[in-house]
Amino acid sequence: VRLIEDISRETFRTGGIQKKWGGPWFFIALTNPADIEYVSKNCLEKDLLIMKSLKGLTGDGGIFAPVSIWSKKRKVIIPAFSPKILNSFMDIFSRRSANLVDKLKELSGTGKFDIWPIINNFTLASIAETSLGIRNLEGMNDVAASDFLKSVEESFILASNRTFSVWLWPDWIYKLSWQYRHFKKHNDNIINLTNNIIRKKRNDLKHVDLNAYENQTIFGQDDKVDSFLDHLILLSQRQNGFTDTELREEITTFLLAATDTSAVAICNTLLLLGKYPKIQEKVHEELVRVFENDNEKLYKDLLSDLKYLDMVLKESLRLYPPVPLITRKPTEEITLPSSGYTIPVQTGIIISIWGAHRDPNYWGPDADCFKPERFEAGGKTGFFMPFSTGPRNCIGYQYASFTAKSALASILRQFKVVTEEEDGPIPKIECKFSIMLKSKHGYPVRLERRNH
């Protein structure tokens, strides 16, 4: 993380560009908004030399697929993230959030605890149900659920370690290491689970009328079609269908990306609100105003009314973007609009989201401060891209927002989050980079029940 911060802050002083060497590999780091937008639109290939460890998790899933494969798949996948389908999952978000609150009630008033594993289980359970149709992780049996969660976590850690261990970049060296053996074991666990589910889903969907499915005005009416996997199987049939391998790659990509991304966003926001209790009280006042009673279910329209919570979440994502950098590799020379500098073919490009979100040249002198009001309507903001930008942006950003806002609204209606308060506007959260940007010391909080 220190490396990401140092390089990013150097770019603030040099027009938003830095040229660096990582071992024998040359790369360009960018934080200038004009350059980032240009590269994101005109340079779509990912740099797999830097991020190849992640491709071991996702195969040719949408995040790291070559453009030729990505463009074909994206046409099928985009409809699966339509508002119509996302709205059909609202009951799942509501029920999962209520279950989360019940678990937290058992821990409220018991002193400080790390909320990360509970939130991580919540996001995994929500995503397992919406993406794979698994009604509850316990349905996989406790051992399988525990092994699966451990494999997801360990795969991320091992992939991250390789990313920052230049000597492990060559495949032949990596495959001789203990890290590769551990990574393969955990990755095989994930693959085996998803393969079993895909086979069962294909069998369950054999008799679904494709025309009737496509003409639905409200998804979720057919109890046979209740997950992203179901939708991908059916939506892809018009284009000769996805193979089992392609389905597994897309679902694994979504499962791995969404679980940690949402959990990190929720936990960072809770930690920040604990550090700034006055801001937390403003969030709670809004929740009391929007929800008529303690037991009122979450609905999309109600979440849309939580304007201040939305500002808080955006400010959390600005300061601590779960994915702090993305990569590109040009297939032809490109010239940066800000400086006229020409980047040669096959040069690694690192787009620092962390840097773009903290550049005082665009966000002002208080760029490092926690200030949700900067996102008020009509307010002056800099370049905000927590879910990337351009044609290869994250297509699941609305899903991630739904998940995070559902959990935050449910928790903050019932509990006051208490952590060590900050003595100034700049939060002191020491982070580590484990594919996602996480708090190095976990997320220790105390919860106090609210008396409404």
Segment 104-142, tens digit of pLDDT: 999 998 999 999 999 988 998 888 888 887 766 545 555
Tell me which residue of 340, 239, 262, 344 sits closest to 15, measured CA to CA: 340
Element containing residue 239 per DSSP (H, E): none
**Of 136-140, 211-215, 295-299, 446-450, where does mean pLDDT reach its minimum?**
136-140
Torsional sign, CA 172, 173, 174, 179: positive
Is 186 within 8 Å of 154 (Cβ atoms)? yes
User: How far is the C-alpha of 228 from the C-alpha of 231, rounded, in Å?
Assistant: 5
The number of C-alpha atoms within 13 Å of 372 and in the hemisphere containing its C-beta is: 18
User: How far is the C-alpha of 175 from the C-alpha of 211, rounded, in Å?
Assistant: 47
The angle formed by the CA atoms of residues 24, 28 and 31, to the nearest 5 degrees, is: 150
Is 53 within 8 Å of 155 (Cβ atoms)? no
Binding site members for heme: 394
- Sorted by where each starts, the structural domains of the chain and their CATH numbers stand as 60-325+398-441 (1.10.630.10)
Q: Is 152 buried (19+), middle (13-18) or exposed (0-12) by CB count in 10 A?
A: buried
Write the pLDDT tens digit of every residue in 173-190: 999 999 999 999 998 988
Binding site members: 394
Give the model's pLDDT for residue 280.
98
Give the model's pLDDT for residue 218.
43
Q: Which of 45-54, 159-168, 243-252 has the highest mean pLDDT?
A: 243-252
- 10: pLDDT confidence band, cut at 50, 70 and 90? very high
Percent of the chain at pLDDT > 90 equals: 48
The residues with which 26 forms a beta bridge, in sequence order, are 21
Write the pLDDT tens digit of every residue in 266-294: 999 999 999 999 999 999 999 999 987 76
Buried b / exposed e over 248-276, threshold 16 CB at 10 Å, is bbbbbbbbbbbbbbbbbbbbbbbbbbbbb
Please enumerate in sequence order all residues whose Cβ is within 8 A of that of 174, keeping only pairs 6 or more positions apart, or say none. 162, 168, 180
Q: What is the pTM of this model?
A: 0.90
Please enumerate in sequence order all residues whose Cβ is within 8 A of that of 260, keeping only pairs 6 or more positions apart, or say none. 120, 123, 152, 156, 322, 435, 436
Q: What is the mean pLDDT of the chain?
A: 86
Radius of gyration of the chain (CA): 22
User: How far is the C-alpha of 386 from the C-alpha of 390, rounded, in Å?
Assistant: 12
**Of 153-167, 304-318, 343-357, where does mean pLDDT reach its minimum?**
153-167
